Structure 1
Amino acid sequence: MKKLLNTLYVTTEGAALKKDGENAVVTIEGEERARVPFHMLTSIVLLGPVLVSPAMISAAAEQGMTIVLLDRLGRFQARIEGPVTGNVLLRRAQYAASEAPVEIVRSIVLGKISNQRQVLMRGLRDHGAEAGEAARSALETAAARLGQILRRVERAGGDIDALRGAEGEAAALYFAVFDHLIRVDEPQMRFSGRSRRPPLDPVNALLSFLYTLLTHDCRSAAEAVGLDPAVGFLHRDRPGRPSLALDLMEELRPVLADRLVLSLINRRQLGPKDFETRDGGAVFLTDDGRRTLLTAWQERKREERLHPFLGEKAPLGLVPYLQAQMLSRHLRGDLDAYPPWFWK
Structure 2
Amino acid sequence: MKKTFYLFNPGELERKDNTLKFTPVSEDGALAPASQARYLPVEDISEFYVFGSLRANSSLFNFLGQKDICVHFFDYYENYTGSFMPRDGLLSGRMLLAQTEHYRSKSKRIIVARKFIEGAAANMLKNLAYYNRRGKDLEELMLAIKKLSENIPLTESVEELMGIEGNIRQAYYQAFNLIINDFEMGTRTKRPPQNEVNALISFGNMMCYTICLRAISQTQLNPTLSFLHTPGERRYSLCLDISEIFKPIIVDRTIFKVLNKREIQANHFDNKIGRCLLNNAGKKIFVRALEDRLTETIQHKSLGRKVSYKHLVKLECYKLAKHLLGMEEYKPFKMYW
Fold-level match, TM-score > 0.5?
A: yes
Cα distance between partner residues in 2 of 1:99 and 1:311: 36
Contact persistence 1:73–1:285 (CA under 8 A):
no
Cα distance between partner residues in 1 of 2:261 and 2:331: 33
Secondary structure at the aligned position of 2:227 is classed as coil
Cα distance between partner residues in 1 of 2:249 and 2:228: 19
In the other structure, the counterpart of 2:29 is: none
Tell me whether 1:5 sits opposite 2:2 in the alignment: yes
In the other structure, the counterpart of 1:206 is: 200
Secondary structure at the aligned position of 1:192 is classed as coil
In the other structure, the counterpart of 1:152 is: 151
Tell me whether 1:71 sits opposite 2:64 in the alignment: no
Cα distance between partner residues in 1 of 2:331 and 2:80: 30
Cα distance between partner residues in 2 of 1:329 and 1:236: 21
Cα-to-partner distance string for 1:183-234 (whole Å, 9 max, x where unaligned): 23xxxx2110211100111111111111111101111111210111111000
Contact persistence 2:116–2:245 (CA under 8 A):
yes
The Cα shift of 1:149 comes to: 2.2
In the other structure, the counterpart of 2:283 is: 290
Cα-to-partner distance string for 1:266-313 (whole Å, 9 max, x where unaligned): 0000000000113x3211111111111111111111101234554442
The Cα shift of 1:33 comes to: 5.0
In the other structure, the counterpart of 1:15 is: 11
In the other structure, the counterpart of 2:185 is: 191
In the other structure, the counterpart of 1:87 is: 92
Secondary structure at the aligned position of 1:252 is classed as helix
In the other structure, the counterpart of 1:243 is: 237
In structure 2, give the amino acid aligned to 1:240: R
Q: 1:146 and 1:322, CA in 2 relative to 1: closer, same or farther beyond 3 A?
A: same
Percent identity (aligned):
22
Tell me whether 1:227 sits opposite 2:212 in the alignment: no
Cα distance between partner residues in 1 of 2:82 and 2:244: 22
Contact persistence 1:308–1:342 (CA under 8 A):
no
Cα distance between partner residues in 1 of 2:284 and 2:77: 13
Secondary structure at the aligned position of 2:307 is classed as strand
Cα distance between partner residues in 1 of 2:292 and 2:36: 24
Secondary structure at the aligned position of 1:48 is classed as coil
Secondary structure at the aligned position of 1:216 is classed as helix
Cα distance between partner residues in 2 of 1:307 and 1:201: 37
Cα distance between partner residues in 1 of 2:318 and 2:67: 21
Q: Which runs of 5+ in 2 are unaligned?
A: 25-31
In the alignment, which of 308, 330, 334 is matched to residue 342 of structure 1?
334
Cα distance between partner residues in 1 of 2:298 and 2:148: 26
Secondary structure at the aligned position of 2:150 is classed as helix
Cα distance between partner residues in 2 of 1:34 and 1:301: 25
Q: Which runs of 5+ in 1 are unaligned?
A: none
Cα distance between partner residues in 2 of 1:8 and 1:125: 36
The Cα shift of 1:150 comes to: 2.3
Cα distance between partner residues in 2 of 1:221 and 1:213: 13
Q: 1:106 and 1:307, CA in 2 relative to 1: closer, same or farther beyond 3 A?
A: farther
Moved more, 81-90 or 167-176: 81-90
In the other structure, the counterpart of 1:181 is: 179
Cα distance between partner residues in 2 of 1:342 and 1:311: 16
Cα distance between partner residues in 1 of 2:255 and 2:213: 22
The Cα shift of 1:65 comes to: 1.5
